[in-house]
């Protein structure tokens, strides 16, 4: 016997149903994964890489978002402006967080390669031929480059978050998207939909 359509619609709107959220990256997560100004300077000095203008990057991105909001102010309502800026800042924060995670993995790889190289019995970790660095040295240099990039993106995100607070009047928070049927594969969703045709 077929169930009434109203019953299935009511169960779909059941307030007792648990709604899982896909959490977005926060500025705090960026601060935990990306080097700060002191660490970035230490990396730059140790590896002879470019010393980035941290304050300049942060200030320029703060100005950029303020100028964007000024240019759009006549065309966007207050709520539309908030949504637009929330998405822009979310992109900056997400990019910096991804770079910070990549930096953390690069540092782990560099540490592992250096620790392996400290063992005298491992020929593959010895210095390369004349004119070439060891694998461990290349990994350390790669981690340093990624660290400087992650720091620069952190500064851009910091500037964007500061601008958001100035423009909107409240601290920026990531938008957390609801996850539809978490844990179910596409095949499982299709099978469920097909079986519901028999109800």
Q: What is the model's pLDDT at position 45?
A: 95
| CA separation for the pair 95, 91 (Å, rounded) | 6
| CA separation for the pair 55, 93 (Å, rounded) | 17
Q: What is the model's pLDDT at position 10?
A: 46
Q: What is the pTM of this model?
A: 0.74
CA distances from 117 to 136, 144, 194 (A): 7, 18, 57
Over the chain (199 residues), what is each successive 10-residue block's mean pLDDT?
A: 48 50 85 97 94 97 97 95 96 97 96 80 53 81 96 98 97 78 64 74
């Amino acid at each position: 016997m077929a169930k009434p359509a109203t019953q299935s619609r009511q169960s779909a709107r059941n307030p007792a149903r648990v709604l899982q959220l896909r959490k977005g990256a926060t500025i705090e997560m960026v601060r935990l994964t990306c080097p700060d100004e002191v660490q970035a300077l230490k990396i730059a000095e140790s590896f002879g890489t470019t010393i980035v203008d941290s304050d300049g990057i942060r200030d320029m991105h703060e100005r950029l978002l303020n100028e964007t909001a000024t240019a759009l102010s006549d065309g966007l309502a207050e709520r539309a402006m908030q949504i637009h800026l929330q998405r822009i800042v979310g992109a900056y924060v997400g990019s910096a967080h991804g770079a910070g995670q990549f930096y953390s993995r690069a540092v782990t790889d560099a540490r592992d390669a250096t620790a392996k190289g400290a063992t005298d019995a491992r020929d593959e970790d010895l210095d390369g031929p004349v004119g070439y660095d060891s694998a461990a040295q290349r990994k350390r240099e790669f981690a340093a480059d990624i660290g400087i990039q992650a720091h620069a993106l952190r500064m851009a995100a910091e500037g964007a978050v500061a601008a958001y607070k100035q423009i909107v009047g409240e601290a920026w928070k990531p938008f957390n998207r609801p996850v539809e049927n978490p844990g179910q594969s596409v095949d499982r969703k299709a099978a469920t939909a097909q079986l519901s045709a028999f109800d």
